[in-house]
């Protein structure tokens, strides 16, 4: 090999190493870049897809997905996993439509009962996986199954009631004809989650617990308590997302939002939060939610047959995960 | 203490997971002796017949929930014709091997009637033959079983009509050359295949142009999401052809703040009927069509089984033209109305359309089933 080609090879290697390093260290930013690429690709394929309706819809769906993703982010950072967010969302969505029955004035009881459901399910998930030591994936799926069975017991599987017009308006009404009102919920929840994760004592403890539980314990942190609280947060956020989801859908059947367990987990991982725990950010999870929504949009723009669309969706998601989210476990 | 908790939780999880597929005994009151005659399997006086309703899926699917409720009503109604029937329900959760095991179990348990809403359109030939050898009346319901190697009845709704009628009315209100969106149900499902055949035939006849397609898989959330994404794509269209879940497709317009389409259909739920009345209350905004795809088709299939068990023979020419080889009996849609019927003040099932639409819960769909006597009169000698 000549000196010139050796230098070129070395130069290319350095470039890819730098790209790889950038990708590994800026996962949230990568999710934003991927979202931008998807958005631009959609517009190139179909210029008409750049319209106000589309922007409003993208904001709406991203906000809804970002709420359970917030809980998922907390649990993953703490070293756990929550496959129960979809079941909790479905349960509170049913509670919302069943209680409201299309009439205003029931928001407070619905909110309080939903939060209670989220707290109970989150606590049980946390207690079983943290205190008893059952595998988080299995236990959260099993508890989710119980929550789902209860939906059928209470409703007999029959869809009943609708969200109140006022609640529906707080989600669907467009500010300036473009931005859906649901963005107001985002303005409350997003900063709150940012504060909890980045500024509060609990957030700092959560990162440390997920990163190195033994070290966290030695510093006096109640590791189990912190992890259980992360599950409770996840339950509560999923419960709230169920109310918002019911407003978006107007009606709710059993298991209506079960798919959000998968979607929120993927969005969180795309956003840079790893299964290993101790790393990740909510900004990344929001960007990951945006990626999920834009990817679905892009595939619809291609107007492909449903099976091909589903296969493509799965392949792209696997590629995205392979591309930049391969964080090594930081364990002692 | 921890061990005890582990054991208790493990038991709880096993219980929860096992609850996916269980049997529910519908029970029935004793009734006078059966009136069957002529068949070797004709029930003896005072005999209780055992009926197994096998379903690919129930949970998460209001249509299938109603299907089972209608089945229970038909079982109870059989007592009026002198049949004591006990009812058990089995759900395979869309798993073909579970379906086979459950069918095998029903054969072993000595059921008299099996009504199966199958997971797939083929693959059950050996077990069907085994059931028939055991003297069990095996009827396939709702989704057609397409094997020509077994001799069974397929009692299904006339899906082709639902698609055709919708496309035809869309063509009538929109006019030739107009652009439509087509949101189909579940790819690979026989009911969807038949329905799409009807849609495509009418689209061609009416000269409509399909500019965007999607599938909702009979999932209300997916219907709304698919419609939202089609709206996002900015594609220009005049009408929406949707294979049920129409109220959810329409909800996507609400969420997006988009102008309602020039046509939408078909829908068959209380939510759709009520929503369309509201949309058009101050004058016609969106023409639409309501058609029934009755979940009661399973209950109707059960009454075919009872008639077979009673030794009755089918009339000539009852099979759907072109589908004689798979013995398909297509039950016609009973309810069909459009915005024009509303404007004309026409009645549906003896009620004003407003009264009829408001008599439904939001998620409940239009249903009906043919009684033992109605099936006998229409299809048997």
Write the ipTM. 0.76
Collapsed DSSP state (helix, strand, coil) of residue A174: strand
Which of A:155-194 have CB within 8 Å of B? Answer: 156-162, 168, 171-172, 174, 177, 180
pLDDT classification of B17: cutoffs 50, 70, 90:
very low
Residue B53: name the closest of B12, B15, B3, B102 by CA.
B102
Q: What is the mean pLDDT of residues B235-250?
A: 95
Q: Do A61 and B256 touch (CB under 8 A)?
A: no
Which position has the higher pLDDT, B36 or A60?
A60
The CATH H-level (homologous superfamily) assignment of domain B16-151+295-331+367-379 is: Response regulator (3.40.50.2300)
How far apart (Å, rounded) are the C-alpha atoms in residues B64 and B295? 7
Residue of A139, A148, A157 with shortest CB distance to B65: A157
- pLDDT score of A302: 83
Q: Do B228 and A160 touch (CB under 8 A)?
A: no
How far apart (Å, rounded) are the C-alpha atoms in residues A277 and A273? 7
Q: Mind spelling out the 3-state secondary structure of chain B?
A: CHHHHHHHHHHHHHHHHHCCCCCEECCCCCCCCCCCCCCCCCCCCCCEEEEEEEECCCCCCHHHHHHHHHHHHHHHHHHHHCCEEEEEEEECCCCHHHHHHHHHHHHHCCCCEEEEECCCCCCCHHHHHHHHHCCCEEEEECCCCCCCCCCCEEEEECHHHHHHHHHHHHHHHHCCCCEEEEEECCCCCHHHHHHHHHHHHHHHHHCCEEEEEEECCCCHHHHHHHHHHHHHCCCCCCEEEECCCHHHHHHHHHHHCCCCCCCEEEECEHHHHHHHHHHCCCCCCCCEEEECCCCCHHHHHHHHHHHHHCCCCECCCCCCCCCHHHCEEEECCCCEEEHHHHHHCCEECCEEHHHHHHCCCCCCECCCCCCHHHHHHHHEC
Residue of B12, B221, B362 with shortest CB distance to A159: B362
Contacts of A250 in chain B (CB under 8 A): 251, 254, 271
pLDDT classification of B11: cutoffs 50, 70, 90:
low
A154-203 pLDDT, tens digit per residue, is 887 777 788 999 999 998 888 887 888 899 999 999 999 999 999 999 99
Q: Do A142 and B13 touch (CB under 8 A)?
A: yes
In this structure, are residues B137 and B114 in contact, taking their beta carbons and an 8 Å threshold? Answer: yes
How far apart (Å, rounded) are the C-alpha atoms in residues B195 and B187? 11
In the structure encoding, which two tokens stand for residue B242, read together?
């949707």
- pLDDT score of A10: 73
B358 touches chain A (CB under 8 A): no
In this structure, are residues A228 and A299 in contact, taking their beta carbons and an 8 Å threshold? Answer: no
Contacts of A139 in chain B (CB under 8 A): 9, 13
- CATH code 3.40.50.2300 region(s) in chain B: 16-151+295-331+367-379, 159-293+339-344
Collapsed DSSP state (helix, strand, coil) of residue A81: coil
In this structure, are residues A211 and A277 in contact, taking their beta carbons and an 8 Å threshold? Answer: yes
- pLDDT score of A159: 74
What are the residues whose beta carbons fall under 8 Å from the beta carbon of A112, sequence distance 6 or more? none
Collapsed DSSP state (helix, strand, coil) of residue A76: helix
Contacts of B218 in chain A (CB under 8 A): none
In this structure, are residues A37 and A280 in contact, taking their beta carbons and an 8 Å threshold? Answer: no
In chain A, where the domains are located? 58-291
- Across chain B, what does the average pLDDT equal? 87
User: Which ranges of chain A have pLDDT less than 70?
Assistant: 1-3, 324-332
B51 touches chain A (CB under 8 A): no
- pLDDT score of B27: 34
Residue B110: name the closest of B48, B28, B23 by CA.
B48
How far apart (Å, rounded) are the C-alpha atoms in residues A210 and A277? 4
Quick one: what percent of chain B has pLDDT higher than 90?
Answer: 69
**Considering only the top CATH level, what class is B159-293+339-344?**
alpha beta
How many Å is the Cα radius of gyration of chain A? Answer: 21
DSSP type of residue A48: G
How far apart (Å, rounded) are the C-alpha atoms in residues B219 and B248? 9
Which position has the higher pLDDT, B3 or A52?
A52
* Alpha helix stretches (DSSP H) within chain A: 3-25, 27-45, 52-77, 85-100, 107-126, 136-155, 165-172, 182-194, 201-211, 213-218, 223-249, 259-270, 282-301, 306-324
Looking at the DSSP bridge assignments, the partners of residue B288 are B264
How far apart (Å, rounded) are the C-alpha atoms in residues A31 and A34? 5
Looking at the DSSP bridge assignments, the partners of residue B290 are B267, B337
B64-106 pLDDT, tens digit per residue, is 888 999 999 999 999 999 999 999 999 888 888 899 999 999 9
B156-186 pLDDT, tens digit per residue, is 999 999 999 999 999 999 999 999 999 999 8
How far apart (Å, rounded) are the C-alpha atoms in residues B148 and B155? 15
Please state whether beta strands B84-91 and B48-55 pair in parallel, antiparallel, or not at all (unpaired): parallel
């Amino acid at each position: 090999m000549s000196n010139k080609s050796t230098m070129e090879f070395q130069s290319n290697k350095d470039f890819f190493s730098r790209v790889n390093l950038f990708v590994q260290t800026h996962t949230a930013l990568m999710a934003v870049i991927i979202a931008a690429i998807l958005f631009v690709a959609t517009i190139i394929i179909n210029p008409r897809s750049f319209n106000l309706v589309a922007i409003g819809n993208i904001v709406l769906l991203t906000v809804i997905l970002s709420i359970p993703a917030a809980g998922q982010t907390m649990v993953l950072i703490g070293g756990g996993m929550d496959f129960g967010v979809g079941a909790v969302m479905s349960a509170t969505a049913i509670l919302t439509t069943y209680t409201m029955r299309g009439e205003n004035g029931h928001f407070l009881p619905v909110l309080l009962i939903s939060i209670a459901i989220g707290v109970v399910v989150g606590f049980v998930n946390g207690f079983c996986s943290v205190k008893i030591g059952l595998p988080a994936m299995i236990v959260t799926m099993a508890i989710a199954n119980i929550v789902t069975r209860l939906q059928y017991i209470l409703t007999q599987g029959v869809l009943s009631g609708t969200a109140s017009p006022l609640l529906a308006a707080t989600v669907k009404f467009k500010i300036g004809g473009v931005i859906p009102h649901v963005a107001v919920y985002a303005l409350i929840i997003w900063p709150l989650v940012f504060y909890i994760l980045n500024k509060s004592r609990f957030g700092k403890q959560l990162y440390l617990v997920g990163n190195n539980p033994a070290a966290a314990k030695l510093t006096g942190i109640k590791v189990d308590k912190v992890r259980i609280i992360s599950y409770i947060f996840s339950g509560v956020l999923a419960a709230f997302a169920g109310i918002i989801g019911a407003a978006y859908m107007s009606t709710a059947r059993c298991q209506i939002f079960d798919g959000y367990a998968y979607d929120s987990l993927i969005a969180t991982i795309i956003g840079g939060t790893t299964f290993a725990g101790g790393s990740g950010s909510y900004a990344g999870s929001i960007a990951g939610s945006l990626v999920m929504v834009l990817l679905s949009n892009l595939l619809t723009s291609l107007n492909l047959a449903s099976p091909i669309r589903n296969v493509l969706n799965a392949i792209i998601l696997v590629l995205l995960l392979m591309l930049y989210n391969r964080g090594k476990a930081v364990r002692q | 203490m921890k061990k005890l908790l582990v054991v208790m939780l493990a038991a709880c999880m096993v219980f929860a997971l096992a609850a996916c597929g269980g049997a529910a005994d519908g029970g029935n009151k004793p009734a006078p002796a059966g009136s069957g005659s002529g068949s070797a399997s004709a029930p003896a006086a005072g005999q209780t017949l055992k009926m197994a309703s096998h379903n690919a899926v129930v949970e998460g699917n209001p249509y299938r929930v109603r299907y089972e409720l209608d089945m229970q009503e038909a079982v109870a109604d059989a007592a009026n014709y002198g049949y004591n029937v006990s009812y058990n329900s089995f759900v395979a959760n869309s798993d073909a091997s579970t379906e086979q095991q459950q069918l095998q179990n029903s054969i072993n348990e000595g059921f008299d009637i099996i009504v199966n809403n199958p997971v797939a359109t083929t693959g059950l030939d050996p077990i069907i033959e085994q059931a028939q050898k055991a003297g069990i009346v095996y009827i396939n319901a709702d989704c057609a079983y397409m094997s020509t190697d077994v001799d069974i009845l397929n009692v299904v709704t006339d899906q082709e009509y639902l698609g055709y009628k919708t496309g035809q009315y869309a063509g009538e209100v929109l006019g030739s050359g107009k652009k439509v969106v087509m949101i189909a149900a579940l790819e690979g499902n026989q009911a969807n295949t038949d329905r799409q055949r009807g849609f495509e035939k009418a689209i061609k006849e009416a000269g409509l142009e399909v500019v965007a397609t999607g599938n909702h898989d009979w999932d209300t959330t997916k219907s709304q999401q698919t419609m939202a994404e089609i709206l996002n794509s900015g594609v220009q269209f005049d009408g929406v052809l949707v294979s049920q879940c129409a109220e959810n497709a329409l909800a996507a317009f609400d969420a997006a703040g988009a102008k309602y389409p020039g046509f939408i259909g078909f829908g068959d739920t209380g939510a759709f009927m009520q929503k369309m009345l509201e949309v058009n209350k101050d004058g016609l905004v969106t023409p639409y069509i309501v058609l029934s795809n009755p979940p009661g088709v399973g209950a109707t299939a059960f009454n075919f089984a009872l008639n077979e068990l009673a030794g009755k023979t089918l009339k000539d020419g009852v099979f759907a033209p072109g589908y004689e080889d798979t013995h398909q009996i297509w039950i016609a849609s009973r309810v069909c109305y459009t915005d024009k019927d509303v404007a004309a003040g026409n009645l549906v099932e003896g009620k004003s359309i407003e009264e009829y639409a408001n008599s439904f819960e939001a998620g409940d769909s239009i249903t009906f089933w043919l009684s033992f006597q109605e099936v006998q009169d229409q299809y048997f000698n």
